[in-house]
Each structure stands twice: as C-alpha cells, then as structure tokens.
C-alpha cells in the first residue's frame, strides 16, 4: 500500500452529513486544492506547479508554521448548514484565523487613495460590517423567515442517547458536565416539547390571524429553532473554526457540526488543514 491509498476519497458536491437530530452539513462547492496554496505562495517568483510534490507539502507546512497565511486564502469551500440557532450564533463568534479589518486594502493587495480606503474600513460587527465591507474573506447568507414560511423545526435534547441533557459544571460558569439523571432528562424533554407545542399553537394562530410572518416568529422558542445558511470561507477560516470547535471545551452540539465540516473538507485540502492545525494562529 502506498501513501496515495491512505488519502481520503474526495467527496462529491452535494454530499450531506446528518448532524444531531434534524441538522446537516452539505458540501455545495469548493475552489482549489493544496496545490492552490503552493502556487499562491510562489506567485512572487512567477512559479507554478501542476502536481503536488513532497517539497510542496513541506512548503505548506512551513507557511503555516511561520504565519505566512495569505496563500491559504486562495482556496475556499462553500457549505450549507442546518442547525439550531444556538449553534448558528455560536458558529460566528470566532470569525477567522486573523482580523480582516480594518486593513482590507492590504489583504486585497492594493494601494488605494485615502478617500477610497476609508470606505473599506471596518464599521461594525457582523458579516457585512454595517456597510457591506465586513469580512472580505468569508460570507454567510441565511434563510429568512421574513421571505419564506419555513416549517418550524426544533432541536430537542434527551430524545436519543446521543443528545442527552447535560448538567452544569461544578467549577466553571460556562460549558457543561456529564448527562443528568434519567428522571431529569425525561422531565426536561417533556417540558421543552410542551413549550414547543404551545408556541406552535400561538404561531399558527398569529399566521392565521393575518399577522406577518416576520412578527409571528416571535412566538417560536428561538434557541431551539433550526435555521439554514450558506457559508463560504477560505481554508484559513475553516481551519480556525475547526481549531476552536473541535476542542474538548467546545459545546457538544457545535463539536458535532465541526466533525462533519472536517469530514467533508479535509479530503479536499488534507495538507493545508493538517499544517494549519499544528499551531493555531491568532
């Protein structure tokens, strides 16, 4: 058996991995491969390779080890994710492996006049930074219940052994410990089901009464509600996400999604992700 036999098979576009009860991560598309990183790094020498060699693999590792990260932004992946809102909001607390604001012009490799450079400066939190110039190296577009009436779906812990209700930790203000006892688990699941059923009744009443969908959704328990979004990000960004969310101290639910992201993306960029995972970059 040679080394090529150990390389994970490249997944097909559209491959979807189930996560938790109703969630998933789906591979929409990607641009580039490990060789894209190599060729971006050698652009200053006007060099370009057509096959990945052992020397190129060492170069990828060197780039990551010494913080030369711009070549990793020449390769991107687009994913579709369905997850509870509590996971979706936590997903974007960590943006990317380095701040992309306010020096966006530097990342674009341009010398801009002051009046134009000012328009690219960071002006607020969020994907668009308030003025459409937030994070230029990743994007998120989410399904909107203002425009489509999606059937409300909810994540309910305790319905399977894989997703139990967890106890609060004894020595920390955040995170969780092991599963609660069976009686508490069953009671919590029943209470959440009761809340969801009552909320759905209120939601259906509001829609039936002619209230707009964008306001009727206020009756739905938000953090358990599933949402769907597209995420397109550089390999540097995805590596940073995996470093943060595959750790043992990350919330269990987002760890499950991070494992699915890793399973889909690692076969596409095995050397780049391995190199970026050695030494997390600030």
Over residues 98-154, the pLDDT tens digits come to 444 444 444 444 555 666 555 555 444 444 444 444 455 678 888 887 777 778 899
Classify burial at 78, counting beta carbons within 10 Å of its beta carbon; exposed 0-12, middle 13-18, buried 19 or more: middle
Q: Are 209 and 71 in contact (CB under 8 A)?
A: no
Q: Which pLDDT tens digit goes with each residue over 12-65?
A: 988 999 999 899 999 999 999 999 999 999 988 888 889 999 999 999 999 999
Q: Which pLDDT tens digit goes with each residue over 197-222?
A: 999 999 999 999 999 888 888 999 98
- Residue 31 phi/psi, 5-degree rounding, is -130, 125
How large is the greatest C-alpha to C-alpha distance in the chain, in angstroms? 67
Share of the chain residues as helix, strand and coil, in percent rounded to the nearest 5:
45, 15, 45
Q: What confidence score (pLDDT) does residue 278 get?
A: 43
Cα dihedral angle (92, 96, 102, 104), rounded to 10 degrees?
Answer: -120
Q: Any bridge partners for residue 12, and if so which?
A: none
- Residue 217 phi/psi, 5-degree rounding, is -65, -15
**Interacting residues of 199 by C-beta distance below 8 A, sequence separation 6+:** 219, 220, 221
Q: Are 86 and 98 in contact (CB under 8 A)?
A: no
Q: Which pLDDT tens digit goes with each residue over 239-248?
A: 988 988 998 8
Quote the CA–CA distance of 166 and 164 in Å, as a whole number.
Answer: 6
The angle subtended at Cα 166 by Cα 163 and Cα 167, nearest 5°, is 175
Tell me the two tokens of residue 260: 């699915």
- Closest alpha carbon to 33 in 75, 73, 64: 75
Q: Is pTM beyond 0.85 here? A: no
Q: Any bridge partners for residue 155, and if so which?
A: none
Quote the CA–CA distance of 45 and 59 in Å, as a whole number.
Answer: 14
DSSP H helix total and E strand total for the chain: 10, 5
For 22, the 3-state DSSP assignment is coil
């Amino acid at each position: 058996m040679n080394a090529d036999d150990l390389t994970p098979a490249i997944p097909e576009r559209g491959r979807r991995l189930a996560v938790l009860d109703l969630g998933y991560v789906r591979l929409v598309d990607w641009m580039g491969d490990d060789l894209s990183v190599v060729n971006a790094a050698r652009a200053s020498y006007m060099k370009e390779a057509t096959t990945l060699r052992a020397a190129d693999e060492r170069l990828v590792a060197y780039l990551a080890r010494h913080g030369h990260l711009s070549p990793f932004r020449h390769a991107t992946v687009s994913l579709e994710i369905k997850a509870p809102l509590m996971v979706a909001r936590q997903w974007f607390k960590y943006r990317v492996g380095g701040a992309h604001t306010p020096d966006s012009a530097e990342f674009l490799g341009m010398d801009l006049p002051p009046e134009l450079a000012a328009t690219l400066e960071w002006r607020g939190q969020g994907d668009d930074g308030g003025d459409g110039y937030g994070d230029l190296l990743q994007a998120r577009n989410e399904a909107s219940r203002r425009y489509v009436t999606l059937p409300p779906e909810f994540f309910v812990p305790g319905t399977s052994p894989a997703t139990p209700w967890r106890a609060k930790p004894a020595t920390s203000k955040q995170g969780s410990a092991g599963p609660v006892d069976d009686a508490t688990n069953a009671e919590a699941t029943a209470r959440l089901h009761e809340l969801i059923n009552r909320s759905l009744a209120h939601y259906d009443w509001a829609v039936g009464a002619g209230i707009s969908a964008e306001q009727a959704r206020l009756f739905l328990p938000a953090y358990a509600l599933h949402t769907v979004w597209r995420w397109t990000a550089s390999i540097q960004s995805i590596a940073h996400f995996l470093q943060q969310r595959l750790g043992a101290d990350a919330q269990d639910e987002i760890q499950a999604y991070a494992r699915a992201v890793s399973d889909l993306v690692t076969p596409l960029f095995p050397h780049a992700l391995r190199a970026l995972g050695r030494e997390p970059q600030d």
